[in-house]
Amino acid sequence: MTEWTILGAGALGCVMAGLLRQRGERVALMLSERHRSHFHPSLDMITLGGRHQLIQTQPRFAEQARQAECLLVFTKAYQVVDALTGLQQLPTTAPIVLLHNGLGAAEQVQELFPHNPLIAGVSSHGAMKEGDWLVRHTGKGETWLGPLNEAAHAWAHLVKPLSAALGHAEWSEDIRLHQHRKLSINAVINPLTACHNIRNGQLLEPRYADVLEQLSEEVFQVMANLGETESQDAFRRRLQQVIELTATNYSSMHQDLVHGRKTENDYITGYILAHAGTQPVPVSSQLYREIKRRGG
């Protein structure tokens, strides 16, 4: 049985740790220095049914990276490179699975760890942090893994235990498709909810109809230029479905902005701007600048 080492003890990382432990999987949490003197040995996870469950995991620190068998990275996109830089003792046999929002960090990770199997992951599970070592599982979703380099192809079997723990996990040789489809949703919901200080579901109110339509059009066209084959109607239906399913949730970018944290603006809306080419993207540009102005 592979031990899963989770880097990034935020809401989703902790929920994933909890779901894996519930299935009897071995899980270690790779912690930062600030946790060394006050790490709580038990993680309290509130399940989808509202029950509290205490989750026991093995605490690890950077100098113990050589013990990692499989590394799941749940940090923010802008933290990925710095967090991994401290893990140079990671065995070259250990796969690195990137499960952060946005795109743009994988190329740097490949330079840092050229010999490790590098896997991209996309998950639509919902999670919320409610306190120190208290997290809530807010929604079940799909999880996809796929190879980012040749060495990763040998690790498709990871999806079997993940599927048992998460309810769904599949391997895709075209993981970029799933990354683009998740990013296209995030590039609409996250900046709008962050800038307007609203829950996801409020985007369906009439007052946001015009800006939602304009931003959706911009994001769809950029993704189409990148090779996305999904029709515009299909994209709109998927966007509406996600908004409805997460109606009571606050987006991660909203929460980061509200709590004065750096956002993933550069890896979500910034990715749209970087790949727009000659296509006008005025709404994306305005939202990007506004989030930057507010410190995100």
Tokens standing for residue 52: 């509290």
- Report the distance separating Cα 123 and Cα 96, nearest Å: 16
Active-site residue, from 76, 140, 160, 182: 182
Close Cβ partners of 141 (under 8 Å, ≥ 6 residues apart): 123, 124, 125, 126, 168
Exposed/middle/buried for residue 35 (C-beta within 10 Å: 0-12, 13-18, 19+):
middle
CA 263/CA 79 separation, integer angstroms: 10
What are the tokens at 188? 């609409």
The first and second tokens of residue 27, run together, are: 């899980």
Annotated active-site residue 140? The verdict is no
- The 10 Å Cβ neighbour count of residue 82 is 9
Structure tokens at 279: 């296509």
Is 49:42 a contact under the CB 8 Å cutoff? no
- C-alpha distances out from residue 155 to 69, 87, 96, 120, 280, Å: 12, 21, 10, 12, 40
Cα–Cα distance for residue pair 30/250, rounded to 1 Å:
26
Of 110, 109, 104, the closest CA to residue 186 belongs to: 104
CA distance 87 to 180: 28
Q: How far apart are CA 270 and CA 186, in angstroms?
A: 12
State the residue for tokens 């989808």.
48
Q: What are the residues facing 72 on neighbouring strands?
A: 6, 97
Q: Are strands 118-123 and 58-60 parallel, antiparallel or unpaired?
A: unpaired
Active centre residues (catalytic)? 182
